[in-house]
Chains A and B, each alone.
Chain A
Amino acid sequence: MKRKKLERAVFGFAAVVIAAAAWFWSRQVGDVIDLLRMAYG
């Protein structure tokens, strides 16, 4: 059924997007922390 297929697509897409966003933003925050450490010790 089409609905089931779209629901599965939602789950797949959500997993990829949330994992990618978590990786990307944690890397950005990590960069910020590193820079602040360098600047203020």
Chain B
Amino acid sequence: MQPMLNDLLLSLAHWFDAMPWSTALHESLYLYAWAESTHVLTLMVFLGMLFIIDLRMLGLIFTDVPASTVAKRLDVPMLIGFAVMFATGFILYFAIPVRTTQSLWFRIKVVLLIAAGINALLFRARMKAADGSWDRDPKPPRRLRISAGLSLALWAGVVITGRTIAYDWFDCHKQLPYFLYWAAGCVDEMARFE
């Protein structure tokens, strides 16, 4: 399963890489830098709003405002931020597709993103299922506090692994143990072991 997925992702990356736009972005004087800057600066909108919502669910901010009010009012700016980050993030991947696909950090980041997404959906379901009895409590019930803590940890992980994509510590061309080649999907390097 994993080798097949690796080959599939790698051919997708090569397909993007062959597009003239990908090269143009990569070699552009400013476009790539602007996409990256927008990606980073939008953290203030997306992650900033998310932090405030999660801190409210932990009972650490806006304790005098109902939890659902904070979550509902900040939902729109947060989603706008997410849309911008997703779009600019795709541009960054599109500009350097092969290296990114074989980046250990990028892979961890995508896994964390999916986990954070599932956590967010569960959180929403729990919020909806709740009868609102705790809405005005300064400190929400334990189950929701755990979700909020998990959300903070997962998104912090997404930021951290996102930043480390730029470092070449575990790139395929380095001398690495087999399991790191496996995790990063370095198909050619793995073949050399066999």
- Write the residues of chain A forming the contact surface with B, with a CB cutoff of 8 angstroms: 32, 35-36, 39
Q: Chain B's nearest CB lies how many Å from the CB of A34?
A: 12
Considering only CB atoms, which chain B residue lies closest to A38 in the complex?
A: B29
B193 at interface (Cβ–Cβ under 8 A)?
Answer: no
Question: Which residues of chain B from 17 to 32 have a CB within 8 Å of any chain A CB?
Answer: 29-30
Main secondary structure of the interface of A (DSSP, over half): helix
A29 to B114, CA, bound (A): 38
Across-interface contacts of A36 in B (CB, < 8 A): 29-30
Across-interface contacts of A39 in B (CB, < 8 A): 29
Across-interface contacts of B30 in A (CB, < 8 A): 32, 36
The list of the 5 closest CB pairs from A to B, nearest first, reads A39-B29, A32-B30, A36-B29, A35-B29, A36-B30
- Write the residues of chain B forming the contact surface with A, with a CB cutoff of 8 angstroms: 29-30
Main secondary structure of the interface of B (DSSP, over half): loop
Considering only CB atoms, which chain B residue lies closest to A36 in the complex?
A: B29
A32 to B30, CA, bound (A): 8
Q: Chain A's nearest CB lies how many Å from the CB of B30?
A: 6
Can you list 5 residue pairs at the A/B interface with Cβ under 8 Å? A32-B30, A35-B29, A36-B29, A36-B30, A39-B29
A11 to B83, CA, bound (A): 35
Considering only CB atoms, which chain A residue lies closest to B34 in the complex?
A: A32
Q: Chain B's nearest CB lies how many Å from the CB of A31?
A: 11
Considering only CB atoms, which chain A residue lies closest to B29 in the complex?
A: A39
Q: Chain A's nearest CB lies how many Å from the CB of B106?
A: 29
A36 to B29, CA, bound (A): 8
A6 to B29, CA, bound (A): 44
Across-interface contacts of B29 in A (CB, < 8 A): 35-36, 39
Considering only CB atoms, which chain A residue lies closest to B30 in the complex?
A: A32
Q: Chain B's nearest CB lies how many Å from the CB of A27?
A: 16
